[in-house]
Structure 1
Amino acid sequence: SSEIIYLVNRDKIYVDVNIDEVDIKEISLGQQAEITFDAYPELKLSALIDSISPLATGMGGITVVEVTLQLIQSDPRIMSGFSAEVEITVEEVHNVVRVPTEAVAEREGMHFVLLMNENEPQMTMVRVGRANDEYIEVLSGLKENDRIAANAYQILEQFQQQAGGAEGRGGMFPGMPGRGGGGGMRQLAPH
Structure 2
Amino acid sequence: MKVSIRRRALLTNGVLTVLLLGGAGLVYAQLGTDQAAGETAVRTVTAGRGSVTASVSASGAVESSRSRALSFGTSGTVEKIYVKAGDKVAKGDILARLDDAAAQESLTAAKAAYDGAVSDGTGTAQLYAAYIKARNAYREAQRTVAATVLKAPFKGTITAVNGSVGGTSTGNTQSGQGAGASTGFIELADTTKLQLVGTFTESDAGRLKKGRQATITFDALPGVTATGKVTQIEPVAATSENVVRYPVTITFTKVPDQVRLGQTATVEVVTGRAENVVTVPSTAISTSGGRTTVTVLRDGRQVRTPVEVGVQGAALTEITSGVSEGDEIVPPSTPSTGQGTGGGQRFGGGFPGGGRR
TM-score, normalised with respect to structure 2: 0.37
1:111 aligns with 2:290: no
8 Å Cα contact 1:126-1:138 kept in structure 2: no
1:154 aligns with 2:336: no
Q: CA deviation at 1:141?
A: 3.6
1:35-73 deviation per Cα after TM superposition (whole angstroms, max 9, x unaligned): 221222423322101112232111232121111001111
Structure 2 CA distance for aligned equivalents of residues 6 and 112 of structure 1:
58
Task: Kindly indicate which of the two structures has a greater share of residues assigned to helix.
Answer: 2
Partner of residue 46 from structure 1, selected from 191, 213, 227? 227
Structure 2 CA distance for aligned equivalents of residues 35 and 78 of structure 1:
11
Partner of residue 309 from structure 2, selected from 120, 126, 129? 129
SS for the counterpart of 1:102 is: helix
Q: 1:45 to 1:5 in 2, by over 3 A?
A: same
Partner of residue 83 from structure 1, selected from 257, 264, 289? 264
Q: 1:154 to 1:85 in 2, by over 3 A?
A: farther
Identity %: 24
Structure 1 CA distance for aligned equivalents of residues 295 and 264 of structure 2:
37
Structure 2 CA distance for aligned equivalents of residues 15 and 23 of structure 1:
17
- The structure showing larger relative contact order (alpha-carbon pairs under 8 Å, at least 6 residues apart) is 2
8 Å Cα contact 2:200-2:245 kept in structure 1: yes
| Residue-pair matches, total | 155
8 Å Cα contact 2:231-2:250 kept in structure 1: yes
Residue 75 of structure 1 aligns with an amino acid whose one-letter code is: P
Alignment of 1:158-177 (within 5 A): none
Q: CA deviation at 1:92?
A: 2.4
Residue 249 of structure 2 corresponds to 68
Residue 93 of structure 1 corresponds to 274
Q: 1:113 to 1:13 in 2, by over 3 A?
A: farther
Structure 1 CA distance for aligned equivalents of residues 198 and 304 of structure 2:
40
Residue 163 of structure 1 corresponds to none
Residue 55 of structure 1 corresponds to 236
Structure 2 CA distance for aligned equivalents of residues 144 and 46 of structure 1:
35
Structure 2 CA distance for aligned equivalents of residues 44 and 115 of structure 1:
42
Alignment of 1:174-185 (within 5 A): none
SS for the counterpart of 1:112 is: strand
Q: Which consecutive unaligned segments of at least 5 residues does structure 1 have?
A: 159-171, 174-191
Moved over 6 A (4+): none
Q: CA deviation at 1:89?
A: 1.5
RMSD: 3.4
